[in-house]
Amino acid sequence: MRKNSGALGTVPFVALGLAWLLIPMLTKIPPYALPTPGEVIGRLYSGVVDGSLPKDVLASLRRLLLGFCIGNGLAIPLGIAIALNRRVSDLLRPLLTFLASIGGIAWVPLAVVWLGVGSGAVLFVIANQIFFGSIYNTVTGVETIPRVLRRAVLSNGARGTQMLWELIVPGALAQIIVGLRTSMAYGWRALVAAEMIAGTNGIGFRMMEAVKWYQTDTIVLGMIVIGVLWLVLDALLFSRLERATVVRWGLLRETA
């Protein structure tokens, strides 16, 4: 359908790379403030060779995946319950609004006190962030299922949990996928930040460690890895999921 859009999308990246090459030659930025592409590639190479980079990437990804499963595992069922049941909605909405305002990172101090510096605290923070990035999408998704579809399914004899699988989940899926996607994007950012403050390993932790030694090449490499990993995750998971479901059903035109 849109095979060539990938090519156009690389143009800004090339421009950015060129600017990066040229800026040190044209300005007086000190070398320790902006490493050259060569230095960053060198750091990438040594990180891969000594195994430290894959280790950090894996630590971060595993945490992200776990936080993603926990956060969405709670958010999606709860979101459905809120959308379907007035009582549940009345009971929980004020609390959720209150908690949502306390962004993921604001939980770091308490998470550290409760769980200590390390994986537990980081996981808590990102699961929290992912939960709130996702839940309202599910609620909206269920609430905007056309009434006439609900009626059609009921008149065909559906009852109880049949409504859930025949109507609610597929009907809300386009919006649920938006929730999965945004929540993972939020979670990814919160993860790196939380690792910087409360981590003992992972990409964010490694970048913060590098500050002590002015290793800007490690820092820039970390930033690039964060961005590239996200591009890959997004293309691999969500774009595929969309194409297999909501795009195929005509509920969504193919996007990014």
Task: Name the residues that contact other proteins, by CB under 8 A.
Answer: 146, 148-149, 151-158, 162, 166-167, 170-171, 173, 245, 248-251
Q: Which two tokens stand for residue 153?
A: 């399914």
Cβ proximity to other proteins, 28 vs 159, nearer residue? 159
Q: Tell me the closest approach of the beta carbon of residue 162 to other proteins, in angstroms.
A: 6
Q: Tell me the closest approach of the beta carbon of residue 154 to other proteins, in angstroms.
A: 4
Q: Tell me the closest approach of the beta carbon of residue 230 to other proteins, in angstroms.
A: 28
Q: Tell me the closest approach of the beta carbon of residue 62 to other proteins, in angstroms.
A: 32
Cβ proximity to other proteins, 46 vs 162, nearer residue? 162
Q: Which two tokens stand for residue 24?
A: 């040190």
The type of residue at 177 is: I
Per-residue b or e along 188-202, where b marks 16 or more CB atoms closer than 10 Å to that residue's CB: bbbbbbbbbbbbebb
Q: Which of 239, 241, 121, 137 is nearest to 183 (CA)?
A: 137
Cβ proximity to other proteins, 62 vs 248, nearer residue? 248
Cβ proximity to other proteins, 94 vs 157, nearer residue? 157
Cα 9 to Cα 100, 149, 256: the distances in Å are: 34, 39, 10
| Contact by Cβ (8 Å): 183, 75 | yes
102: left (phi over 0), alpha (psi -120 to 50) or beta: beta
Cβ proximity to other proteins, 42 vs 170, nearer residue? 170
Q: Tell me the closest approach of the beta carbon of residue 89 to other proteins, in angstroms.
A: 14
Q: What DSSP line would sit under 14-25, residue for residue?
A: HHHHHHHHHHHH
